[in-house]
Amino acid sequence: MPKDYKRPTLKDIAAQANLSIAAVSMALKNHPSLPQSTIERVKKIADEIKYTPDPALSALAAHRNRLRVHNNFSVIGFISNWKNPEDWNQLASIREVIEGAKSRALELGYTLQPFWSKADGATPKRFSEILKTRGIRGVILAPFENYNDKLDLDWDAFSVVAIEKPGRYPFFHHILPNQYTDYLLCWERLRIRGYTRVGLVVRSDFADRWSHQWEAAHLYAQSQMEGTLDTIPILNLDETDQTETIRSWLLRYQPQAVISRCDGFFEAAEAEGIKVPDDVGYVSLNVSDDKPGVSGIYQHRRTMGATSVDVLNSLLQRNQRGPLDASIGTQVNGSWRKGFSLPPISEELISNSNTSNIE
């Protein structure tokens, strides 16, 4: 770069566009108060003179903004679209998301307010107007009851982040667990303990929601086992008679250990006189929503909630509203939680393993 190089500034753009520096700054952030023609004209000039924000100044501005005390808090809407108003936050994992989001929102000068989209029989159009009337520009979509549910809001009026990945709305930035990696972590903990006959039991709606990543990881893990492996068919469950279906599957295939995300496993094992972990090991793919104290994956849902606010804050700062041009997601890796449903690892297994922190 030449010694006499001078970085193009907002002032340079303002001079060419015959606008104030403040107006140029607003245009580059897609501010809705400006005509679209003005925004496009300013961006064209910025491209022509090769303007880029000074990263040091941007970082300083962001730091000052975080330290500033806000007298008027902006409200982030946390939107539920479930059939019943209270059902969506009955799961511990969703309450953890809310806790993480609330905490980070306060740090950034926002408040988080839950909304039920069907309150008072509101239509999507009416609900959109309610949000806009209350001055809400940013919304976080709670996990949908059914990942293919539909919610036709006036999306172009809002910056949007989704917890998990709604099937119909993949072009909102989504925050979700890294289910494939988490499953392989489960398998590794079982492999270290010497289990080879491992079964997967999963509710079909969960499998669909996560694009069958658990099944794919299960098949991959089996393929990596040395020697002949006596495989057990994956059990996919519908919403009816889960306990009886699991009971029949356990009796027929007699797995050494089960990795699961379903309901009714412990009831089925008890009905067959199977003791956990003496007769069969059990690993949960989401310990927050399972039987208390089980071994398995903690999905860091508080971190997911906090991250959703971080991403939404970035979208709000840029005035990025509506669907994104590309489907973008942030995956959060889970951590292993030891519990009662697997036997402890012996010192001999620890010394023979190449895996660190295996407990």
The per-residue pLDDT for range 38-61, each reduced to its tens digit, is 888 888 888 888 887 765 555 455
Classify domain 1-49 by CATH architecture: Orthogonal Bundle (1.10)
Axis-axis angle for helices 301-317, 92-107 (nearest 10): 40
| Domain positions in the chain | 1-49, 74-169+302-333, 179-298+336-352
CA distance 167 to 13: 41
211-244 residues labelled b (16+ CB within 10 A) or e (exposed): ebbbbebbeebeeeeeeeeebbebbbbeeeebbe
Whole-angstrom distance, CA of residue 275 vs CA of residue 273: 6
Alpha carbon dihedral 320, 324, 328, 330, in 10-degree steps, equals 30
Q: State the pLDDT confidence band at 347, using cuts at 50, 70 and 90.
A: very low
Amino acid at 240: T
Decide whether 74-169+302-333 matches 179-298+336-352 in CATH topology: yes
C-alpha 312/C-alpha 138 separation (Å) is 7
**Is residue 155 very low, low, confident or very high in pLDDT (cuts 50, 70, 90)?**
very high
Task: Report the DSSP beta bridge partners of residue 74.
Answer: 110
Half-sphere exposure of 313 (CA within 13 A, CB side): 20
**Better-scored residue on pLDDT, 79 or 56:** 79
Class level of CATH domain 179-298+336-352? alpha beta
Q: What percentage of the chain has pLDDT greater than the value 70? A: 88
14 vs 45: CA distance, rounded Å: 9
The superfamily CATH assigns to domain 74-169+302-333 is Response regulator (3.40.50.2300)
